[in-house]
Amino acid sequence: MAERVVHEPTEPWRAARWCRQGYDRLYVHAANGASIGWYDLGSGDLHAIEPPHTEALTRFVVAWLDSAEARALGPLPAPHPPPPPLPVRHRFGRRAR
């Protein structure tokens, strides 16, 4: 898919859309190829690989949502953190060792 470069204050990041196996995501990478995180175009879930990148990743995705490529896809959900995982309940009242 097409890549778009948006400059963050410290370094340029690249976005690449990925549509496979039932997922439609925007993966974001730093100029050196390091993964920053991804945005799920269906749910709006935003996943930062490193928590300190969450705010910058959100700004990046919001800027991408304003691009011609994103507008051509129709309305997309605003980026937000994914819901917390559900707690694991142990069956039979015992914890696994």
Residues with Cβ within 8 Å of 7's Cβ and at least 6 positions away in sequence, in order, are 13
Partnered with residue 9 across adjacent β-strands are none
pLDDT of residue 7: 43
Ordered by start, the domain boundaries in the chain are 3-83
Reduce the DSSP state of residue 50 to 3 states and report it.
coil
d(CA 29, CA 90): 38
Structure tokens at 29: 């990478």
d(CA 1, CA 24): 11
Q: What is the pLDDT along the chain (97 residues), one digit of tens a residue?
A: 555 555 444 568 999 999 999 899 999 999 999 999 999 999 999 999 998 999 999 999 999 999 999 999 999 999 998 878 778 777 766 655 5
